[in-house]
Amino acid sequence: MEIIKINEHLCQFEFINGTSEFPINITAVIDDAKIFLIDTGYQRFAEQVKQYFLGMGVSEFVVYISHHHEDHFDGCKSFIESPKYASRLFKDDFQNHLQDDEFLKNFEADEYLLDGNCCKTDRFEIQYIYTPGHNKCGFSFLINDKYLYAGDLIFYNKDGRPSIPYLDANSTVDEYLESLIKIKKLNPDCLILGHGRYLNARPEINRQIDNRLFYLNQIKNGKELPLEDCLMGSKSDYCGLNFHEGNLKSAARSK
């Protein structure tokens, strides 16, 4: 576990997940005696984060889940008694392969995330922003109008290379494009990711958003274009290249 400090009250816990090329992040908003966790990774990672804060004398947690992929909510098993927030589309967007896990299969949010709503404390305002595209139930979280947790709309591998977008089976290209445009208009100072290190320079944030907009527009408008024609730059600049074939299928279903 590596702790990455974003500011005095905002940090990420980064975990390397076996042989996977993508690190897994758990983001913590530290509000005095209460911790707001955005995504929980796998349970073995969530338990380490929980024990870290218990060791600091903090025992109250609130959990926000950006989307239904198990590497973002399996760790809720360590926070049974804590309030958990997720999209009302969470169950509708469920993955069949999770059926063998009773907890994941039966997971229910305690509260629904509603687009535009927010949580306010003396120190923080956390706004909930509906951002489908990576999948149907996706939410992002804007913290104090400056720090945007964007889930898996944008993510990197452990070597620091950006991935091409990944569209889940229920996603559409148009939704993904709209969500990227939405987060770009928010103009955050810092973009926090579900996988990979955060970005804290607006030109780089905008460049990464624009690269993905270009890719998605190419697969939306083209007929099974080769990957090289869909990228700004070289294939060697990116990871997740194996997502391309599935993305083309999602694009075809969207038409």
Mean pLDDT per 10-residue interval, the chain, length 255 residues? 95 92 97 94 98 94 96 96 95 74 88 96 95 95 98 96 93 96 97 97 97 96 84 95 92 75
> Pick from 77, 183, 196, 169: which is nearest to 130 by CA?
183
Domains, the chain, ranges and CATH? 2-254 (3.60.15.10)
What amino acid is encoded at 18 in this protein?
A: G
Residues in the chain: 255
On the CB side of 168, how many CA atoms lie within 13 Å of its CA?
19
Angstrom distance (rounded) from CA 159 to CA 168: 24
Q: What is the pLDDT of residue 114?
A: 96
> Pick from 22, 21, 75: which is nearest to 49 by CA?
75
pTM score, two decimals? 0.95
Angstrom distance (rounded) from CA 76 to CA 124: 23
> Pick from 169, 216, 178: which is nearest to 69 by CA?
169
Q: Is 178 helix (H, G, I), strand (E, B) or coil?
A: helix
Sheet order of strands, 118-120 included: 118-120, 125-130, 139-143, 147-149, 190-192
Q: What is the pLDDT of residue 163?
A: 98
Angstrom distance (rounded) from CA 249 to CA 166: 11
